[in-house]
Chain A
Amino acid sequence: MIYDFFLKITGSNILASIIQSLLPLFIFILPFALFAVWLERKVSAHMQDRLGPMRVGKHGWLQTVADILKLIQKEDIVPNDADKPLFNIAPILVFVGSYAVFAAIPFSGAFIGSNIDLGIIFIIAASGFVVAGILMAGWASNNKYSLLGAMRSAAQIISYEIPTVLVVLTIIMITGTTNLATLSEMQTGHFWNWMIFGGPNFGIAKFIFIPFMIINFIIIYISTLAEVNRTPFDIPEAESELVSGYHTEYSGMKFAMFFLAEYANMFAVSAIVTALFFGGYQSPIGYLGNLFGAHWLIPIEQFIWFTAKGIFFVFVQMWLRWTLPRLRVDQLMAACWKYLIPIAFVNLIIIGLITVL
């Protein structure tokens, strides 16, 4: 698809792969991060009875561009006693981790960075990479707040990966595939074919699945929220306790990379939830392209649907952030080990039984 297109233009495998891999970064992650930061500020502002940025551009839409320009100009401060090589690598590692996730996300039928068969497994593995970066940042900063933040973060992300994976397993059991593109294709048609509504198969099993799927969705949404360190699970960077956790000591562009990674991650987890439960890039109501017979329109429509769904879940994350207080670290662990994991296990077993029968 996209790859073949680039292959035709450049005539070289390597060039085509490079372009293809950079594509999501430039056409999606960077603009999205800019947009999401602006959105976050506007959403929070309107929830709090204020206006938010209003000066730069209409309703401040250029505010993040200005912020990024400011961050680029800032002095890059490395603390004297920091472990310099680790300190410099850490933001890159975090960014790479969250960027790599995008490789396997199916934005539309025609555009998926790398259509690998182990898509969802790859995503989970790649996002685990972020932990290493965060630990590195916390350790290398030689700051106790950073260290505490990093330790909390590592514990949190690793714990919450378990319920995520358990939920993913149930999906794999039902559909028999780990390829996200295939998974999205399976949920084609109308919204009742989405996994949250029991998946594409018909019959009594579909209706039995629905309540379990909703539970599954809630579990995965909570645990992905924790994995990207958003409120109420933002304890690794708990501003009022740990200043800002593992990136306390970072400034300038390195800080911007953490920032970018955070917003990229927000979309990535929303994309996973969308792909697994909400039909991926499939439209809930059919395509205009089919209606008009213009089939080239369909991938574009799919892209729009996918982004819209993703941004909706990002919006919900923001909504939660500006409404809820923050949990304490032990309560967070208790929520994971005492509630989410057992429920996810039971769900896994029940859905397994239903599938077998």
Chain B
Amino acid sequence: MALKTEEMILNMGPQHPSTHGVLRLELELEGEIIIGAKPHIGYLHRCFEKHCEAMTYPQVTPYTDRMDYLASMYNEFGYALAVEKLLGIQVPERVEYIRVIMGEFQRIASHLVAIGTYGLDIGAMTPFLYCFRDRERILSLFEQTCGARLLYNYIWVGGLSHDLHPDFINQAKDFIKYFRPKIKELNDLLTNNKIFIDRTANVGILPLDLAINYGISGPNLRASGFKWDIRKDDPYSVYNKFDFEIPIGNGTMGTVGDCWDRYYIRVLEMEESLKIIEQALEQIPEGDVTSAIPKRIKPAVGQVYSRVENPRGELGYFVMSDGSVNPFRVKVKGPSFVHLGIMNELLKGYMIADVIAILGSIDIVLGEVDR
């Protein structure tokens, strides 16, 4: 006679060291094998969209910072682009270049956190601190530029709050020189570690058709083997002036679209971001960064959906205007929110230890999921 067994429900989070915030996963387990996963979100809901309706257009910018707090620059960037599109205004070229430089620095900083915490999830403590050490230097650059290290309120509709610090370009170049060897160090320490590969290769495989159907974007989509980057495929700002590669996952260590691919895409992307920054620093024109900021933002009735390639994926802003100074509706399509939707699909059949590996490789920020 077979023993009677029953599934165990395990609540992972909202207080758990590696759910990257306040995510709660309701896991249905059979032994250590997952047979179902249900994400519960909303613990960090701050009514961003409702707030926006009560604010004027420029007042929304600081709120966007607080969504994906690891990529604040890019959130502002996306919002500014959306409103500029709605207003139909052009911003000076220098502004575009500075936005791109800041955006790419932000991408590196954000990927460093993603990679570092991923190592931490797998149990390697040291790469995490190395990553944070390097990220610290980027944050110092930001601090020098706009006075804030995390929530910048730097990229405004129509311009920027400040011009660059006179020494910024030199320091940025120093950083690039400093950072290139660090990527190699990271690869030696973590990427090519046998245990790390064992833990991540062939785990959490995300097939391409499923990924597109689920709206997955950014590094996670590219890891599944699809060359798709909004910076190249639907260029915004001045991205079409730079020469850079789009790395895609090719299953070096296992299957295309596994956790290792998703991790390694981020490492490669940091390199590409460095390339973009280098070119931008060379080409950056002189000019005034505040001249195009409108005194009073009052777009005509209409709506626009504008998207940017955030470090985590496609960040879209749907902004609707009713002709007043307050936005009628702002809806954010955050990549983290979308990526979390696939968790049930991805987790089935893996073990508890893999939940952490998969969740970490998807790289979510709960501030953006819950908004």
Interface residues of A (CB under 8 A from B): 44, 47-50, 144-145, 148, 231-232, 234-235, 238-243, 321-331
B residues lining the A interface (CB < 8 Å): 8, 10-11, 16-18, 32, 119-126, 129-130, 133, 189-190, 193, 195-196, 198-199, 351-356
Q: Which residue of B lies closest to A50 (CB)?
A: B129
Question: Of residues B119, B121, B125, B129, which shows the largest number of chain A Cβ atoms within 10 Å of its Cβ?
Answer: B125
Instruction: State whether B123 touches A231 (Cβ < 8 A).
Output: yes
B32 touches A329 (CB 8 A): yes
A144 to B122, CA, bound (A): 21
Within 8 Å by CB of B133, from A49, A234, A325, lies A49
Establish whether residues A325 and B129, one from each chain, have CB atoms under 8 Å apart when the complex forms: no
CB pair A240–B195 under 8 Å, yes or no, is: no
Closest to B197 in A: A325
- Whether the pair A329, B351 counts as a contact (CB closer than 8 A) is yes
Q: Which residues of A contact B125 (CB under 8 A)?
A: 44, 48, 321-322
A328 touches B199 (CB 8 A): yes
In the bound assembly, the distance between CA atoms of A243 and B130 in angstroms comes to 23
- The reply to whether B351 and A330 contact each other, CB–CB distance below 8 Å, is yes
Q: Would you call A328 and B351 a contact (CB within 8 A)? A: yes
Residue of B nearest to A152 (CB): B32
Would A239 and B353 count as touching, CB distance under 8 A?
no
Q: List 17 A-B residue pairs with CB atoms under 8 Å apart, sorted by A's residue number.
A: A44-B126, A50-B129, A145-B10, A148-B10, A240-B17, A322-B125, A323-B126, A324-B124, A324-B193, A325-B124, A326-B123, A326-B353, A327-B199, A328-B353, A328-B354, A329-B351, A329-B353
Task: Tell me the minimal C-beta distance from A333 to chain B in angstroms.
Answer: 11
**8 Å CB contact of A327 from B198, B355, B356:** B198
Q: Are A235 and B353 in contact (CB under 8 A)?
A: yes
Q: Which residues of B have CB within 8 Å of A325?
A: 119, 122-124, 190, 193, 195-196, 199
Distance, CA A330 to CA B195, complexed state (A): 13
In the assembled complex, the Cα of A44 lies from the Cα of B17 at a distance in Å of 20
Q: Is there contact, CB below 8 Å, between B352 and A148? A: yes
- Interface pairs A-B: 5 shortest CB-CB: A326-B123, A240-B18, A325-B124, A48-B129, A325-B122
Question: Which one of A44, A148, A326 lies within 8 Å of B195 (CB-CB)?
Answer: A326
Nearest A residue (CB) for B32:
A329
Contacts of A49 in B (CB 8 A): 129-130, 133
CA distance A328 to B353 in the complex (A): 6
Q: How far is the CB of B351 from chain A (nearest CB, A)?
A: 6
Query: How many residue pairs, one in A and one in B, have C-beta atoms under 8 Å apart?
Result: 81
Name A322's contact: one of B10, B120, B126 (CB within 8 Å). B126
CB distance from A96 to the nearest CB of B (A): 29
Contact B193 A48, beta carbon cutoff 8 Å: no
* Minimum CB–CB distance for A79 against chain B, Å: 15
In the complex, how many angstroms separate the beta carbon of A324 from the nearest chain B beta carbon? 6
The chain A residue with its CB closest to the CB of B123 is: A326
Q: Which residues of chain A come closer than 8 Å to B18, judged between CB atoms? A: 240-241
How far is A241 from B353 in the complex, measured between Cα atoms in Å?
A: 6
- Chain B residue contacts of A148, Cβ below 8 A: 10, 32, 352
Q: Which residues of A contact B353 (CB under 8 A)?
A: 235, 238, 241, 326, 328-329
Name the distance in Å between A315's Cβ and chain B's nearest Cβ: 16
CA distance A321 to B121 in the complex (A): 14
Q: Are B193 and A241 in contact (CB under 8 A)?
A: no
Having A240-B121, A324-B123, A324-B195, one finds 13 other A-B pairs with CB under 8 Å, namely: A44-B126, A49-B130, A240-B123, A241-B18, A241-B355, A325-B193, A325-B196, A326-B124, A326-B195, A326-B199, A327-B199, A329-B32, A330-B351
CB distance from B107 to the nearest CB of A (A): 23
CB distance from B11 to the nearest CB of A (A): 8
Decide if B198 touches A331 in the complex (CB within 8 Å): yes
Complex alpha-carbon distance, A324 and B122, angstroms: 9
Q: Which residue of B lies closest to A330 (CB)?
A: B351
| Residue ID in chain B nearest A321 by CB atoms | B125
Distance of A145 Cα from B189 Cα, bound (Å): 30
B188, chain A: closest CB distance, angstroms:
11
Please, which residues of chain B bring their CB within 8 A of the CB of A326? 122-124, 195, 199, 353
Residue among A44, A321, A323, A324 with most chain B CB within 10 A:
A324
Residues of B close to A321: CB separation below 8 A = 125
Give complex CA distance A330, B309 in Å.
Answer: 38
Chain B hits for A243, CB < 8 A: 16-17
In the bound assembly, the distance between CA atoms of A231 and B123 in angstroms comes to 8
Distance A321 CA – B124 CA, assembled complex (angstroms): 8
Contact B352 A241 (CB under 8 A): yes
- Find chain A residues with CB under 8 A from B8 CB: 144
Q: Check if B17 sits within 8 Å of A327, measured CB to CB.
A: no
Residues of chain B with a CB closer than 8 A to A235's CB: 353
Could you tell me the distance between the alpha carbons of A188 and B312 in the complex, rounded to whole angstroms?
62
Distance A232 CA – B10 CA, assembled complex (angstroms): 25
Instruction: Report the Cα distance A148→B16, complex, angstroms.
Output: 15
Q: A49-B133, A326-B195 given as contacts; is B352 within 8 A of A234 (CB)?
A: no
Q: Which residues of A contact B17 (CB under 8 A)?
A: 239-240, 243
Instruction: Please report the C-alpha to C-alpha distance between residue A328 and residue B124 in the assembled complex, in whole angstroms.
Output: 13
Distance A325 CA – B260 CA, assembled complex (angstroms): 14
User: What are the residues of chain B within 8 A of A330 when measuring CB–CB?
Assistant: 351
Which residues of B are found within 8 Å of A234, using beta-carbon distances? 123
Q: How far is the CA of A271 from the CA of B229 in the complex (A)?
A: 56
Q: Which residues of A contact B124 (CB under 8 A)?
A: 323-326
Q: Which residues of B contact A145 (CB under 8 A)?
A: 10
The smallest C-beta distance from B181 to any residue of chain A, in angstroms, reads: 14
A47–B352 CA distance with the chains assembled, in angstroms: 29
Closest to B16 in A: A243
A323 vs B124: C-alpha distance in the bound complex, in angstroms?
Answer: 6
CB B198 to nearest CB in A, in angstroms, measures 6
B133 touches A327 (CB 8 A): no
**Complex partner residue of A238 from B123, B129, B196, B198, CB under 8 angstroms:** B123
Cα-based distance from A323 to B130 in the complex (angstroms): 12
Separation of A235 and B356 alpha carbons in the complex (Å): 13
Most buried by B among A238, A240, A326: A240
A130 to B59 alpha-carbon distance, docked (Å): 60
* B120 and A328 within 8 A (CB): no
User: In the complex, what's the smallest C-beta–C-beta distance from B264 to chain A, in angstroms?
Assistant: 15
Least CB distance from A76 to B in Å reads 21
A144 and chain B: residue at smallest CB distance: B10
